[in-house]
Amino acid sequence: MNRSQAKLTQGIDWPIVGLYLALVIIGIMSIFAAEYRGDDNVWQNIIHLNKNYSRQMMWFGISLVLASVIWLTDSKFFTATSNLLYAGGLLLLLLVLGIGKDVKGSHSWLVIGGFQFQPAELTKLCTNLALAKYLSSQETDFTKLRSRLIAAAIALIPAGIIILQDETGLALVYFSFFLVMFREGLPGILLVIAFSGIVLVLSALLVDKYVLFTIFSVITALVIYFMRREIKRKRSRLLVIIGVYAFCSVFVMFVVPFAFTKVLKDYQVRRIEVMLGKENDPKATYNTRQSMIAIGSGGFWGKGYLKGTQTRFDFVPEQSTDFIFCTVGEDFGFLGSVIFLGLYVALLFRIIFVAERQRSTYSRVYAYGVASIIFFHLAINISMTIGLAPVIGIPLPLVSYGGSSLMTFTMLIFIMLRLDADRQMVLR
């Protein structure tokens, strides 16, 4: 008896399992806090599955079954079916475009027997598997541009389809795979360029384009003046400088205005402008403002569990899904929030630790993928509840209410644990 049990769980990384369980349970408690009203009959609600917390408990149960099934699966199954699952995921996304149902303005839901299901969540897993498969294959040389472009395509094709479903938030998550690619050798300069790009976009939005153009011209002139000796020695440098200058100017003068009038949806533009403080749209600021009031009113110690006044009286919208962090912030205050974030940091660092101890590239890429996805969700979700990022509807991993999201993150993590347990094998 004892021996067989030891065998069954042999190689499992208990710290990750512990952190996983802690976050899911905190999630259910937070959803409960967001919904509970003084005189609810809790047991009846749980049995009838008519509240979000009771349904989340059910999803948790289903997730645990899924986790067990994954744990009992052979690691080679995942490497063997990676590409197939990816193709299946893409098909599912296209299917949703055709027969999906509109829920809150996004066309990304399938309805199966009364339950709504969002394939865009699941394809994160498929994409992660496919990326691991591709980067670990023997033919792939990640120092070559061709391989890098293919890897980028694997990550961004699903994002493209998801944008067509009007779920821009979930599509953005796919950019987190660039963190994985960075780990696998994508030049660091790309991260710097990406960062500069963000700064460029922000400045293009905040500062008048003609002012920016003048600033660029002055900077370029100064750079050319101070580097005139180097330029004399090597003419190509001048071309690079002029090239960067031309790109930045065109970007600011034409690309950003075009994107804002033609590509982005009206509501997206409004949200971004609200976040930047350019526009004061009551509808768009309402959510963020209520969320900030809830979190801010928590103070240092918090109001205590189930004592929050903001989250419990429906002042914060979407409070059991996208704005679940409000409950933590209000009921447990600054101290609780820091501990809560600490749990995530511990989970992320542990995943990175696990990733680095893999012998197979496949498992390492996969584990980094898991860390990147969780990190991206965490950063965007929390930032939006405290007014650091525009309101992009993506859930807080393991904590937000939602079956698709909880099951996807469960599968992501447990496939990684399975691969980790088999780290002595070489997996491709």
Partner 1 sequence: MSVFNQPRKRVIQAIILGMVVLIITRLFFLQIVEKKYAKLADANAVLRKVVYPSRGIIYDRQNRAILSNDVLYDLVVTPASAKNIDTAYLCKILNIDKEEFRKRIINAIVRNGRVRQSVFAALLPAEVFGQLQESMYLFQPGFELVPRQIRSYPYAAAANILGYIGEISPERLKDTTYSSYNSGDYLGLAGLERTYEAVLMGTRGIQYLVKDNLNRPQGAYENGEFDSAAIAGKNLRLSLDIELQQFGEKLMKGKMGSIVAIDPQTGGILAMVSAPTFDPNLLTGSYRSTNSVLLNRDTTKPTFNRAIQATYPPGSTFKPMIALVGLDEGVITPSFGYPCGGAYYGCSRPIKCEHHDAGHAANLRLALSHSCNSYFSHVYRLCVDASKFGGIRAGGLQKWSDYMNSFGFGHRIGVDVPSEARGIVPTPAFYDKMYKGSWNSCTSVFLGIGQGELTLTPLQMANAMCIVANRGSYYIPHFVKSIDNDDTHLLDKYKEKHVVAHISDTAYSAVIHGMTDVVESGTGRVAQIEGITIGGKTGTAENYGIVDGKRTKLKNHAAFVAFAPAENARIAVAVIVENSGFGARYAAPIASLMMEKYLKDSISTKRQALMKTVMETVTLDPAMVAKSKLDSLNNSAIIKKNGTK
Question: Cβ closer to partner 1: 246 or 388?
Answer: 388
Question: Cβ closer to partner 1: 366 or 375?
Answer: 375
Window of 121-129, 169-177, 232-240, 331-339 that interacts with partner 1 by CB under 8 A: 331-339
The alpha-carbon radius of gyration of the chain (Å, integer) is 24
Q: Which residues contact 366 (CB under 8 A, 6 or more apart)?
A: 128, 129, 132, 415, 416, 419
Within 100-187, where are the H helices? 119-136, 145-164, 168-172, 177-183
Binding test (CB under 8 A) with partner 1, winner from 3, 104, 229, 233: 104
Binding test (CB under 8 A) with partner 1, winner from 63, 123, 285, 405: 285
Q: By CB under 8 A, is residue 283 in contact with partner 1?
A: yes
Contact 368, 180 (CB under 8 A): yes
CB of 367 to partner 1, least distance (A): 11
Residue 317 zone, left/alpha/beta (φ > 0; ψ -120 to 50; rest): beta
CB of 313 to partner 1, least distance (A): 6
CA distance 257 to 205: 9
Residue 402 token pair = 């939602």
- 107: helix, coil or strand? strand
CB of 71 to partner 1, least distance (A): 26
Question: Cβ closer to partner 1: 175 or 315?
Answer: 315
Question: Cβ closer to partner 1: 56 or 63?
Answer: 56
Q: Which residues contact 381 (CB under 8 A, 6 or more apart)?
A: 322, 325, 394, 395, 396, 400
Place of tokens 């930047």: 276
CA distance 30 to 312: 10
Amino acid (one-letter) located at 142: F
Among 324, 411, 382, 287, CA closest to 28: 324
Binding test (CB under 8 A) with partner 1, winner from 122, 292, 370, 427: 292
Binding test (CB under 8 A) with partner 1, winner from 379, 421, 425, 428: 379
Alpha carbon 317 to its chain's center: 21
CB of 11 to partner 1, least distance (A): 20
CB of 299 to partner 1, least distance (A): 6
Window of 70-78, 200-208, 343-351, 398-406 that interacts with partner 1 by CB under 8 A: 343-351
- 110: helix, coil or strand? strand
CA distance 13 to 11: 6
- 103: helix, coil or strand? strand
Binding test (CB under 8 A) with partner 1, winner from 25, 87, 193, 388: 388
Within 165-187, where are the H helices? 168-172, 177-183
CB of 355 to partner 1, least distance (A): 8
Question: Considering only residues 23-52, where is the footprint of partner 1 by CB under 8 A?
Answer: 37-40
Q: By CB under 8 A, is residue 221 in contact with partner 1?
A: no
Question: Cβ closer to partner 1: 97 or 345?
Answer: 345
Q: By CB under 8 A, is residue 364 in contact with partner 1?
A: yes
Question: Considering only residues 161-220, where is the footprint of partner 1 by CB under 8 A?
Answer: 179, 182-185, 188
Residue 7 token pair = 């065998």
Question: Considering only residues 227-266, where is the footprint of partner 1 by CB under 8 A?
Answer: 266
Window of 55-63, 88-96, 223-231, 346-354 that interacts with partner 1 by CB under 8 A: 346-354
Contact 319, 52 (CB under 8 A): no
Q: Going residue by residue from 389 to 418, which x/- string records binding to partner 1, judged by CB under 8 A? A: ------------------------------
∠ Cα 289 295 301 (to 5°): 160
Residues that bind partner 1 (CB under 8 A): 37-40, 103-104, 179, 182-185, 188, 266, 282-283, 285-286, 289, 292-300, 309-310, 313-315, 317, 329-330, 333-334, 337-338, 341, 344-345, 348-349, 352, 356, 361, 364, 368, 371, 375, 379, 382-383, 386-388
